[in-house]
Chains A and B, each alone.
Chain A
Amino acid sequence: MNEITQGFWDAWALILFFDPDLYEIIFLSLRVTVTAVVIASLIGLPIGALLAVNRFRHRRFVIALLNALMGLPPVVVGLFVYMLLSRAGPLGGFGLLFSPSAMIIAQVIIITPLIASISHQTVRDLWANYHDLLISLNTTRAQRISALLWDSRRALLTATLAGFGRAIGEVGAIIIVGGNIDHATRVLTTAIALETGKGNFAFAMGLGMVLIMLAIIVNLLIHNLTKTEQASTW
């Protein structure tokens, strides 16, 4: 018990006095995850919208696939990205393994299906509402998709925040492809795993508290966004 209390106060000290090692890890975590969320949104949001607006032959299959991909075990994604990027793999030539780029790739693969799936549901509902009007106004496919994405931007922001929440707390995939290298690929989750193993509880708890605060902030944002979403129909 004593050890936990001590660790707690030491953790606060590390946070409040801007411990450089701690903040390096925080910033790398944010950099990797924010980049991954941006890329995954650029891919996932339009895919979701296309699935909602377009009728094509294997549409139901693609939607089922998307839902299945949401449940991919991150460790398996890590293994897959590792094999792709390892020297003998098809993308080995780029030398990306054990770099932040490798971690970004893994996170993008993990959260794109999530973002695309939420985007699909959101846009599908709005499309049902807008359908006749947008057809009557002779919109092109691109105009439809952009109107639908723009008008459901709050719900879509919620989707990207959900993606952020999932990515920032992920450890299985990025420890495999990043390698948890000090000053290079060490992020919040992988550092917690390592420091806990070393018995370095204060540092591990400092990291854990930051992670929890980030998670709370994101959840509050999601809560607020969905609340205003319901309050008024837009």
Chain B
Amino acid sequence: MVILPLKMVGATAYVRGKRLVGPVDLTLAPEGFTIVIGPNGAGKTTLLRLMHGLQRLSGGSIDWAVSLTEARRKQAYVFQSPIMMRRRVVDCIAYPLLLRGENKKSARAKAKTYAERYGLGHVLQNWAPDLSGGEKQKLSLARALITEPEILFLDEPCANLDGRATREIEAILQKVQDEGNRIVMSTHDLGQARRLAKDVIFMLNGKIHESGEAEEFFSAPQTLEAQAFTNGEIVE
């Protein structure tokens, strides 16, 4: 682990004068599995994008343990709505390796292994935009993991998946984390959050409303809103 910890101090994101997220104070320790939960529009996506550098920082600071250039190379991000390049599945998965100067043949061979590992072996030669929603999600995951990132951001990676595919992906994520990689993931699925989380960040109205170790958070949430949310009630 080189690029972590990640330190956010007063990090804020404004778009056209409207505050989306922040101020956020947060330190991501080198190891763990952090799950970001909260109602729709709470700012989960924006928080992940801020960390990854996709959302411009309007105030405060975000620092990695290494230079930004180096940190950027060791992160990967899986988007809430999958972005499919107009290429064959195998070429989509190989693309990040090609960008890093790996030759086409070995990149393809590696992409094939990853595709098979994530249940895409039978659609290797299909056009990525024609895949089903769940297959697109799996492709995104394979494409993110092929560069062996130290930290993986996942924005609701199981949103389109059926129960079985969800379990498969959870097993993969568990393995990725056991291998010592850092995962930060948002989800709507409280069951999934309970199964996977080591730490929880509960977002509400663009702010971290409550955060802490998963076991404590789920057994004894401190705030009323977190109690309501973990009971499956509507929180506003």
Interface residues of A (CB under 8 A from B): 126, 129-130, 132-133, 135-139, 143, 147, 151-152, 232-234
Contact of B99 among A130, A132, A135, A138 (CB under 8 A): A138
Q: A232-B127, A232-B130, A234-B127 are in contact. Are A136 and B52 (CB under 8 A)?
A: yes
13 contacts between A and B (CB under 8 A): A126-B86, A130-B85, A132-B79, A133-B85, A137-B95, A138-B72, A139-B99, A152-B86, A232-B129, A232-B130, A233-B86, A233-B127, A234-B129
Which residue of chain B lies nearest to A129 when distances are taken between CB atoms in the complex?
B83
Contact of A143 among B83, B85, B87, B99 (CB under 8 A): B99
* B54 interfacial contact with A, CB 8 Å: yes
Roughly how many angstroms separate A138 CA and B95 CA in the complex, as a whole number? 12
| Residues of chain B within 8 A of A136, CB atoms compared | 52, 54, 76-77, 79
Q: A136-B77, A143-B99, A232-B130 are in contact. Are A130 and B83 (CB under 8 A)?
A: yes
Contact of B86 among A132, A133, A139, A151 (CB under 8 A): A151
Roughly how many angstroms separate A210 CA and B96 CA in the complex, as a whole number? 48
Roughly how many angstroms separate A74 CA and B86 CA in the complex, as a whole number? 37
| Residues of chain A within 8 A of B52, CB atoms compared | 136
* B195 interfacial contact with A, CB 8 Å: no
| Residues of chain A within 8 A of B117, CB atoms compared | none
Roughly how many angstroms separate A180 CA and B85 CA in the complex, as a whole number? 48
11 other A-B residue contacts (CB within 8 Å) besides A132-B54, A147-B85: A130-B85, A132-B83, A133-B85, A136-B54, A136-B79, A137-B96, A138-B99, A147-B95, A151-B86, A152-B86, A234-B129
| Residues of chain A within 8 A of B130, CB atoms compared | 232-233
B129 touches A137 (CB 8 A): no
Roughly how many angstroms separate A151 CA and B52 CA in the complex, as a whole number? 26
Roughly how many angstroms separate A136 CA and B79 CA in the complex, as a whole number? 10
1/0 contact string of B80-111 vs chain A (CB within 8 Å): 00010111000000011001000000000000
* B73 interfacial contact with A, CB 8 Å: yes
| Residues of chain B within 8 A of A152, CB atoms compared | 86
B79 touches A133 (CB 8 A): yes
The 4 lowest CB-CB distance pairs between A and B, nearest first, are A234-B86, A133-B83, A233-B129, A151-B86
Which residue of chain B lies nearest to A138 when distances are taken between CB atoms in the complex?
B72
Which residue of chain B lies nearest to A135 when distances are taken between CB atoms in the complex?
B54
Roughly how many angstroms separate A138 CA and B130 CA in the complex, as a whole number? 26
Roughly how many angstroms separate A147 CA and B79 CA in the complex, as a whole number? 19
Roughly how many angstroms separate A133 CA and B93 CA in the complex, as a whole number? 12
| Residues of chain A within 8 A of B96, CB atoms compared | 137
| Residues of chain B within 8 A of A126, CB atoms compared | 86
Roughly how many angstroms separate A139 CA and B86 CA in the complex, as a whole number? 17
| Residues of chain B within 8 A of A132, CB atoms compared | 54, 79, 83
| Residues of chain B within 8 A of A129, CB atoms compared | 83
| Residues of chain B within 8 A of A138, CB atoms compared | 72-73, 99
| Residues of chain A within 8 A of B54, CB atoms compared | 132, 135-136
1/0 contact string of B51-82 vs chain A (CB within 8 Å): 01010000000000000000011001101000
Roughly how many angstroms separate A133 CA and B83 CA in the complex, as a whole number? 7
| Residues of chain B within 8 A of A233, CB atoms compared | 86, 127, 129-130
Roughly how many angstroms separate A137 CA and B86 CA in the complex, as a whole number? 16
Roughly how many angstroms separate A130 CA and B79 CA in the complex, as a whole number? 12
Question: Which of B52, B99, B129, B130 counts the most chain A CB atoms within 10 A?
Answer: B99
B79 touches A137 (CB 8 A): no
